[in-house]
Structure 1
Amino acid sequence: MKDMGPTYKGRVGVICEDCEVLKFFEPGDLEKTYPAEEGISSIYIMAEKLFGCPRVRNHWYDRCHIHNHFSAAEWARRMGYIDPKDLNAAPTGRMIGELAEWEQMKATCKRCNHSRWLDRWALQRRYGKGLALSELGARLKCRCGMRGAEIEIGYMSR
């Protein structure tokens, strides 16, 4: 049996924020009641048959956003949010203010690998000279919505 996500008191939950639907099933009942078709999972079949969602078959624009229901902590972890306790931990590594004049910072997203060079002076004004580069990476947010980035140090050309 395929893992259907986290359970709530032994039940599997599905949620659609667009349709304001939250429904729980006993493990295995979702697949038995609404068997998957070619290219469409049981969750989408359930949304189409039970709620009459017309967006299930549309895969490009106004598509159905129903998915497995997760606890708040699991949702935050999957979205890349950092626990505030982790941000307040003692800084390790180099600080923004310790970078030499000729050094640049490049941030690379952990999810989509989008990268860009950072304006270190603007970041230094915003966060201060004492912010560790490891903490800076945790605070940055990519255009894909993921928080957290790998920070690389590069050198300016002459």
Structure 2
Amino acid sequence: MRHRRGIDLIPEKGAIDPDRGIGHLRLADLADDQLLGARCSRCDHNQWVDRWAIAGKYGHDVTLGDLRPLLKCTKCGNTKGNGFRIGRAHRDG
């Protein structure tokens, strides 16, 4: 699936173990060209987040599973069941 702004929403094959999901990944495990997004389970609001600011606040070794309970939707305020998405920036040329 491709985002309307040209961002791949599915990471490269083999990058994520489908049995474990992405909760075990640390911020330091993400490649420089990967984007981190969050999705609300209630209203399906999606938003890219600044992973470098998150790493500055919580450290590069924090896992996405540890950060998941801290997610709060900016649209509806939901804090239950929200999750992360990983994308890759589209590179032309």
SS in 1 for 2:36: strand
Matched, 1:131 2:62: yes
2:42 counterpart of 1:119: no
Residue pair 1:107, 1:137 contacting (<8 A) in 2 also: no
The structure richer in helix per residue is 1
The unaligned stretches of length 5 or more in structure 1 are 1-91
Correspondence for 2:79 = 147
TM-score normalised to structure 2 length? 0.65
Separation in 2, partners of 1:157, 1:119: 17
* Aligned-CA RMSD value: 1.3
| One-letter amino acid of the counterpart of residue 127, structure 1 | Y
Aligned length: 67
Amino acid of the structure 2 residue aligned with 1:105: L
Residue 152 of structure 1, CA deviation: 1.0
TM-score by length of 1: 0.40
- 1:126 and 1:140 mapped to 2: Cα distance? 14
CA distance in 1: counterparts of 2:53 and 2:79, whole angstroms:
19
Instruction: Note if contact 2:71-2:83 (Cα within 8 Å) is conserved in structure 1.
Output: no
State which structure, 1 or 2, has the greater radius of gyration over its C-alpha atoms: 1
Structure 2: state its 5+ residue gaps: 1-22
Q: How do 1:28-107 and structure 2 match up within 5 A?
A: 93-107=24-38
